[in-house]
Structure 1
């Protein structure tokens, strides 16, 4: 647990991770969606000031496409640590229908991040590599946050934990409400489909009810991830000015709930 995570929990609200970019959206979706390194840094500063504890990082190649390039990751992370030293950094290994499991493994091996999100269903595309992926993370000290989209993913995680493929301390999970679909309308009750258990869990949610879903999760003891990767608008369908505006509104909502 980071100092920031301890502070947020001591204040009575959950840990807030911001996901400002994602793998699929771009400036055509929102003019303030950050894709360049400078834009990501500016967004990170603003979101940290708004109350975010950590940043879920995506990077893009020269054509603006989702990338897992290790060199670019390392450069971006170094710039973020210098500019926003108090913000936790989590990289994504998302395949986004572009990268296979060997490419994801190489990214983890070369970047050696402190924290990474990994989709168990993506690793299951090459089950023979699963032990190597989770063993690599354990050996180099990379915290793993398992991305779970449904109860089947949760069951696979439990199976791999029992088999020792997923290591004993690799217990963090992010429960995803909804997917990238047109007119996505996740609801708070979507969370009820997931077994939560006692290990640390976080929630992200697609659609206009993003904040309502996150508040519902927080009320059940979960941490939260917010940002343009999942939703660009408030509950009325009005575009947020930027990621920091969404973070600020969510933090205010969570803090009101604990008073």
Structure 2
């Protein structure tokens, strides 16, 4: 088995210190988490920034500051920004962030962009013009079908084919099952570069199965705070280390 790329998603848009005291909220906490997770085996970071009150933010200035700090602290770690709306931001705000930050890499929920279809072409055109690598967030087969339709129409550019498949986000109790991966894979064109993340305590089992199937994987407190047996991880780095150990065992 080829070792997959491991991305860590350490916080997400909604969780706070009340959910876990080691969940990074401030920029300094995010930097420290990035360092420890990189040492534990994470190749990339999925970046969320927060405002002064700790709430989800798409502020371009905060993103630029965080990207600069991360480039200095962990220069060998790739960083992907999120454009997640989290029920707060509309598509014009998401487009503004992509335009003003011009990140190297961004994740985009295609179902969120579909809230304003007229802005879909500007969103993906801005990413193409800025050289931003796009990773489409797909929650189900309907999202995959929309991606195929927009690609056929030229809204999504040919180079913008990467996807992340999300398990368990809209399931009762946010639980995931490795058996849910194959039906989603069947909707993708052969050769598509794909990644998987999974909500709930079954996160690592799903990620291991994704690695077996040739996908990259995303782990971290955005999706799960605990191991399969319910044991709470002390921090994100512990979850990354546990996952990398399991992958090493499989490859041995």
TM-score, structure 1 as length reference: 0.94
For residues 111 and 40 of structure 2, the distance between their equivalents in structure 1, rounded to whole angstroms, comes to: 33
Is 1:149 paired with 2:139?
Answer: yes
Q: Which runs of 5+ in 2 are unaligned?
A: none
Q: Which runs of 5 or more structure 1 residues have no equivalent in the other structure?
A: 1-10
1:122-153: CA deviation from partner (whole Å, max 9, x where unpaired): 00000000000000000110000000000000
Equivalent in 230, 235, 248 of residue 255 of structure 1: 248
Does the 8 A contact of 1:180 with 1:206 survive in 2? no
The correspondence for 2:36, drawn from 25, 42, 46, is 46
Query: Alpha-carbon deviations, 1:141-168, whole Å to 9, x = none?
Result: 0000000000000000000000000000
Asked whether the 8 Å contact 1:173–1:202 carries over to 2, the reply is yes
Give, in whole Å, the separation in 1 of the partners of 2:170 and 2:119: 27
Q: Does 1:14 align with 2:4?
A: yes
Residue aligning to 1:217: 210
Residue 238 (structure 1) aligns with: 231
Aligned residues: 249
TM-score by length of 2: 0.97
CA distance in 1, matches of 2:155, 2:24: 36
Q: Out of 61-70 and 192-201, give the one that drifted further.
A: 192-201
CA shift, 1:203, in A, is 0.1
- When residues 182 and 39 of structure 1 are mapped into structure 2, their CA distance, relative to the original with a 3 A threshold, is farther
Q: What is the root-mean-square deviation in Å for CA atoms of aligned residues? A: 1.1
Return structure 1 stretches of 4+ with deviation > 6 angstroms: none
* Aligned: 1:185 with 2:178: no
